[in-house]
Amino acid sequence: DAGVIQSPRHEVTEMGQEVTLRCKPISGHDYLFWYRQTMMRGLELLIYFNNNVPIDDSGMPEDRFSAKMPNASFSTLKIQPSEPRDSAVYFCASSFRGVSGANVLTFGAGSRLTVL
């Protein structure tokens, strides 16, 4: 299994531009999570999906952020317009409920976003 695949790995853009981050979860995983990691705030949950349906988006910082999951193998996180304070590493993670009853969360390598 290739694991959780995120693209791009690095993105540098200018303030006001639209940014789209992409994620391919592990096949068979029914939960997908988007996290943001910064030095100041640590790891923050932005939104998560179950069976492609958004369940909790209370962590999305503001209306400039949106996330979609059109099918079980693809999700996007969009920022429009981007601002310098959005600079962070964005992680996608997926999970399934194993036989032990515990979900096991698998992270992608992250997308490092820099907004100038």
C-alpha angle 99-100-103 in degrees, rounded to nearest 5: 90
Report, in Å, the least distance between residue 56 CB and another protein: 8
**Cβ nearer to another protein, comparing 72 with 109:** 109
Of 43, 61, 80, 83, which lies in the binding site for another protein, with binding defined by CB under 8 A?
43
Q: Which two tokens stand for residue 97?
A: 């409920």
Contacts by 62-67, CB closer than 8 A, 24 or more apart? 67/34
Binding mask 97-116 for another protein (x = CB under 8 A): x--xxxxxxxxxxx------
CB atoms within 10 A of CB 74: 15
- Residues engaged in binding another protein (CB under 8 A): 4, 31, 33, 42-43, 45, 48, 50, 55-56, 91, 93, 95, 97, 100-110
